[in-house]
Amino acid sequence: MAAFLQGSKYLQAVSLAGALSLAVTVAGCSTLQDIIGAEHTGYQSNGSYILSGQDRKLGCRQLRARSDGLISYMQALPARAMRESQDTPGNIAALFGRAFGGGGGGLAAVDEYDRSHAEAVALNTELAQNGCSSIDIDAHLGQADERMAALRR
């Protein structure tokens, strides 16, 4: 009987280890892809953005609407980053991010701006490749870029 219980505990431990391994793999899938350098849809570790297959099937009007919405969203991010910089960090991770966060100072709004900018560039490239009129991203985001640059210092 003792041998059976030991075998049962062994099976439980192996099953638990397998389940945890699978959960970590699924949860960290994009991180794992970033580590091994595999391309995936979305934001890339090199700062670029890869559109999904669904995004690439969008027509000019739909791509333009996504771009316009993203640019409007980005124009509001410098104000959010400024408020965020004035708030007390909510946890230890945010505190360390502020102290050692690099160019964005650990501000989530600055990171979101960078990710959104990469997506806007990818959408604009897709617009041009589809023969649609592209957007002058720099003209639309000039003031927002300047405000974000000031926050990065």
Q: Give the confidence band of 153 by pLDDT, cuts at 50, 70, 90.
A: confident
- CB–CB of 89/98 below 8 Å? yes
* Confidence (pTM): 0.68
49-50/42-43 β-pairing: antiparallel
- CB–CB of 110/148 below 8 Å? yes
Q: What are phi and psi of 19, to 5 degrees?
A: -65, -45
Q: For residues 61 and 153, what is the distance between their CA atoms, to the nearest angstrom?
A: 37
- CB–CB of 144/73 below 8 Å? no
Does the structure show a pLDDT above 70 at 146? yes
pLDDT tens column, 9-32: 655 654 555 544 544 444 444 555
Angle (CA) 30-49-152 rounded to 5° is: 95
Identify the H or E element spanning 20: helix 2-27
